[in-house]
Amino acid sequence: MIKQNYLININKTKKPFIIYKSEKGFDLYTNFSKKIILTNKNIKNFINKTTKFNRKKKDTNLFIGFFGYEILNNLIGIKLPKQKGLKFPKGIFYKPEKKIKLANKLNYITSQKKLDTSNFKININKKSYKKIFNKFKKKIKLGETYQIKICTKYNNKSKIDPLDFFCRLSKSNLAPEAFLIKDKNFSIISCSPENLITKKGNFISTKPIAGTLKKTKNINKKKALNFFKKNIKETKEHNMIVDMERSDLSRICIPGTVKIIKKKIIEEYKDLFHYVSLVGGKLKKKTKTLDIIKAMMPGGSVIGCPKISTLNLLNSQERENRNIYTGSFGYIKFNGDMRFNIIIRAILNYKNYSEISVASGVVIDSNPKHEFNENYIKAKALMDLYK
């Protein structure tokens, strides 16, 4: 492990770098020899070329970066209407030449001044949210969708130290898919808990999360599990998402190999508990990287079910682009192995403008007040960083 003062030095150089949670700590990637900004025209060519480089075992033989929500829709043939919002790249990938292992505890002292948290604005108020909620409830009753996620955004204008934010977030809300990208005019800070793709050799797995419960002093993991098991709404939502992920995997896996490895377990985080399953299978021979990405992205657990019709409903309703939110961050190794998360619990800071997007699921038994409040709980852990 490298001494933590390396973080101070790299932050001072203003060189782009990426930090990604690993099993034992964090991996820091830097000294990028290539930076590829994705468009709807070059994405397929980029993905197809990732496995045509040198396949020798080397820590830096990979591309690491993110696919935004819009470009993933386009990739599977879904067109989005014109939307307002930040004009941020649809995706960016980097080729690192240096990888450094960091400890699980990131120590970093910043000179950043206290930020003003009072200027966070939400793009959908309770009244507007309820209106959208009722519209989607009708669609559910008509059978056009069974579950759908309404996205709300919190934004403000502020100059931040992303490394400071990420280090504090890793201490207060350490998540298995956390990452930081720091580049010249933007940063992405995420405490994502959700793995979308882990591929090693011919085996692929996904870890859908569906079910959120606010933490209190009286609720532990055992009580949280009991709550989810008895809650019809949460159980329905979870079962639907797990079935959809099994269906997505079945498109690229050998028939009969897709199995639920871990069923309905509890994961604990700073402010909440999650209801989680793990699903995996063996890939069909000659399955390409592009086939995997098109089958699995965007991640169904943050979209709704069934995926395609629900995406069309969402896109016709949402007036602002999602940018990175519900896209995917991760890496593709030159040997074809890959790891990608779903970008949630994230801050996009672009040209000193911060954007936090969150969503909760609507099913037939949902309550608009509960779902609106759940969105706030998810956003609060990130907004607290500005204090």
The pair of three-digit structure tokens given for residue 77, joined into one six-digit string:
């043939």
User: pLDDT digit string (tens) for 270-281?
Assistant: 778 888 999 999
| pLDDT at residue 180 greater than cutoff 80 | yes
Span 152-177, average pLDDT: 90
The pair of three-digit structure tokens given for residue 52, joined into one six-digit string:
């045509």
| pLDDT at residue 202 greater than cutoff 50 | yes
Instruction: In whole angstroms, give the CA distance from residue 187 to residue 147.
Output: 31
Q: Which is more confident, 148 or 47?
A: 47
Distance of CA 195 to the CA centre of its chain: 8
pLDDT of residue 116: 60
Report residue 222: phi and psi, to 5°.
Answer: -65, -45
What structural domains does the chain harbor?
5-386 (3.60.120.10)
**Which of 245, 239, 190 lies closest to 379 in space, CA to CA?**
190
- Residues contacting 274, CB < 8 A, separation 6+: 193, 209, 211, 212, 266, 267
Cβ contact 97:22 at 8 Å: no
- Residues contacting 253, CB < 8 A, separation 6+: 204, 281, 282, 283, 284
Instruction: In whole angstroms, give the CA distance from residue 249 to residue 283.
Output: 9
Question: Amino acid identity of 240?
Answer: M
Q: What's the length of the chain?
A: 387
Residue 316 — pLDDT band, cuts 50, 70, 90? confident
Report residue 330: phi and psi, to 5°.
Answer: 165, -155
Kindly report the number of other CB atoms within 10 A of residue 325's CB atom: 24
Percent of the chain at pLDDT > 70 equals: 96
| pLDDT at residue 247 greater than cutoff 70 | yes
pLDDT of residue 147: 84
**Mean pLDDT taken over the chain:** 89
Kindly report the number of other CB atoms within 10 A of residue 122's CB atom: 18
pLDDT of residue 6: 77
Phi-psi region of 266 (alpha: psi -120 to 50; beta: other; left: phi over 0): beta
**Which of 252, 90, 275, 264 lies closest to 194 in space, CA to CA?**
275
Q: Which one of 57-66, 138-147, 250-259, 357-366 scores highest in mean pLDDT? A: 250-259
Cβ contact 298:327 at 8 Å: yes
| pLDDT at residue 117 greater than cutoff 70 | no
| pLDDT at residue 3 greater than cutoff 60 | no
Residue 1 — pLDDT band, cuts 50, 70, 90? very low
pLDDT of residue 233: 78
Cβ contact 251:257 at 8 Å: no
Span 162-186, average pLDDT: 92
**Which of 177, 372, 199, 188 lies closest to 292 in space, CA to CA?**
199
- 356 - beta bridge partners? 154, 347
Q: What is the bridge-based pairing of β-strands 62-67 and 26-37?
A: unpaired
Instruction: In whole angstroms, give the CA distance from residue 179 to residue 343.
Output: 9
Q: Which one of 103-112, 137-146, 336-345 scores highest in mean pLDDT? A: 336-345
**Which of 133, 183, 159, 201 lies closest to 370 in space, CA to CA?**
133
| pLDDT at residue 355 greater than cutoff 70 | yes
DSSP code of residue 85: S
Residue 55 — pLDDT band, cuts 50, 70, 90? low
Cβ contact 19:26 at 8 Å: yes
Cβ contact 141:387 at 8 Å: no
Instruction: In whole angstroms, give the CA distance from residue 281 to residue 257.
Output: 5
DSSP H or E stretch at residue 177: none
The pair of three-digit structure tokens given for residue 136, joined into one six-digit string:
């989607």
